Structures are given as structure tokens and as C-alpha cells.
Amino acid sequence: MQEAHDAPPLELVDIRKSFSEGKGRLNVLKGANLTLYPGQIVALVAPSGAGKSTLLQIAGLLERPDEGEVYIGGVACGRASDSQRTAIRRNDIGFVYQFHHLLPEFTALENVALPQLIRGLDRKEAEERSRQLLGYMRLSERVTHRPAELSGGERQRVAIARAVANAPRLLLADEPTGNLDPKTAAYVFDALVALVRASGLAAVLATHNLELAERMDRRITLEDGLVLEI
């Protein structure tokens, strides 16, 4: 297991992905490569339509590339079965979307505890960890609130706590503050980065916000289907 531990949390090798468009194909990714190191936070900054979501969905094992290989912690995922990919996703990858995707009928605490219960932790342990994570996101006063009773920024902070609940090695965030006003976005972003730093995981954050991107360890973009450093 030592080997896997030292491996990059994420490695994308020559990823190609196209979609059918009218009579032809739209080539979105044309051989994209990316190696992410443990503890590194990378901003993915590119215009709308450049392929950011496609890249993150492939990295997060939510979609399969047409060609190329995705390594999560050194493990090649291309030939893995759907159930193996689901297990890797559950244990090793956290995902945050632009929209929070919290379950409306559950409290903040239950939303964060749920992935841990699915993974097999007992309720007491899961709730304890959820309380800690929500406390870290400065939501201790909100643990019994349901999503409808939370502000937009609070919902995103619950979603972030949920994404790291199973202590993944990799966090993928697709414009996580895209729906928030600038001040709230900055606050949520800071909370996200602090949590990522404290847990030592690696992260790729897609954002339109150059100012926020400047504060990351590394910045990449997508240009003509390739990942470039900026």
C-alpha cells in the first residue's frame, strides 16, 4: 500500500473525449495530460465550453474517456468494472458541484454523515466526524438545519464537508462558488482551501475567478483540448 500512497492522487494520460454534434463529432479533449501531486491545489481556469466539466467528470470516474487512462492514487481505472469505479469514487474522490445536490429531507449533519454510513461507519462515529467537519466549516449552529433553511453559501459549505467526509485523497470541484455572490464566494473558497490544506488532500478546482485562482498552488487551462500550465 506504501506505493499507492506515494503515487500522484490523480494522473490523466492522453485523455480524449468527443461528443456527437449534428452529423459530426465535437472533440472536446484531444490528448489531455495532468499529474497532480499530494497536497497540491490546482485551479482550472478556462472559458465556458472549453471542457472543464468534461475533464473533471472523467477524472472523477463519472464518465469514461474515449481514449487514455485515469490513475487514482496510482491505480489505473480504465478497465475497472462499474462497481470497482464506484468503490474508488466513494473512498478516494470527493466531488463538489456548482449546485449543492444536498438531500432536501435530511439535515446538514445527516447529509454529511450519509456517505460515511454508506461506506460502513457506525452512526455514532459518522455523526462525530460530521460535527467536526461542519464545525470546521463554521456551521456548528446549523447542523440540524435542512438545506431549505440554509443560505446559498452555507449549503455549499455543507456540500464541501460532505465531499471530504470519507477522507478522499482527491477533491474535484466544478465551479463550486459559481452560484454565489462575490463576497460569499470568497468566504466559501477560503473555507474550502483551508479544509483541503488541513486534510492534506489534493484538489482541482474549476473556476472563472482569476483572483481566487491566483491563490492556488498552480493554475492550468484547457486550450484546444489540451491541458496547459498558466
Residues in the site for ligand ADP, rule: CB under 6 A?
19, 26, 28, 46, 48-54
Residue 37 touches which of Mg ion, ligand ADP, none (CB < 5 to 8 A by kind)?
A: none
Please report whether residue 207 would count as binding Mg ion according to CB under 5 A.
Answer: no
User: Which of residues 43 and 126 has its CB atom nearest to Mg ion in the complex?
Assistant: 43
Q: Shortest Cβ distance from residue 138 to Mg ion (Å)?
A: 28
User: Which of residues 73 and 176 has its CB atom nearest to Mg ion in the complex?
Assistant: 176
User: DSSP letter string over 98-147?
Assistant: SS----TTS-HHHHHHHHHHHHT--HHHHHHHHHHHHHHTT-GGGTT--G
- Tell which residue, 53, 43, 59, has the closest CA to residue 11: 59
Residue 54 touches which of ligand ADP, Mg ion, none (CB < 5 to 8 A by kind)?
A: ligand ADP
Contact 38, 92 (CB under 8 A): no
Q: Shortest Cβ distance from residue 208 to Mg ion (Å)?
A: 10
Q: Shortest Cβ distance from residue 126 to ligand ADP (Å)?
A: 32
Q: Which amino acid is at 122?
A: D
Q: Shortest Cβ distance from residue 116 to ligand ADP (Å)?
A: 29
As a whole number of angstroms, the distance between CA 183 and CA 105 comes to 28
Q: Shortest Cβ distance from residue 15 to ligand ADP (Å)?
A: 12
As a whole number of angstroms, the distance between CA 101 and CA 158 comes to 10
Stretch that binds Mg ion, among 12-20, 46-54, 72-80, 208-216 (CB under 5 A): 46-54
Helix (H, G, I), strand (E, B) or coil at 190: helix
Contact 17, 29 (CB under 8 A): yes
Query: How many residues form the binding site for Mg ion (CB under 5 A)?
Result: 2
Stretch that binds Mg ion, among 33-41, 53-61, 111-119, 149-157 (CB under 5 A): 53-61
Give residues with Cβ within 8 angstroms of 107, minimum separation 6: 143, 144, 145, 146
User: Which of residues 53 and 107 has its CB atom nearest to ligand ADP in the complex?
Assistant: 53
User: Which of residues 48 and 83 has its CB atom nearest to Mg ion in the complex?
Assistant: 48
In the numeric block, which cell numbers belong to residue 55?
475533464
**DSSP 3-state helix, strand, coil percentages of the chain (rounded to 5)?**
40, 25, 35
User: Which of residues 50 and 164 has its CB atom nearest to Mg ion in the complex?
Assistant: 50
- Tell which residue, 28, 63, 69, 64, has the closest CA to residue 47: 28
Residue 198 touches which of Mg ion, ligand ADP, none (CB < 5 to 8 A by kind)?
A: none
User: Which of residues 53 and 209 has its CB atom nearest to ligand ADP in the complex?
Assistant: 53
Please report whether residue 53 would count as binding Mg ion according to CB under 5 A.
Answer: yes
- Positions in the binding site for Mg ion (CB under 5 A): 52-53
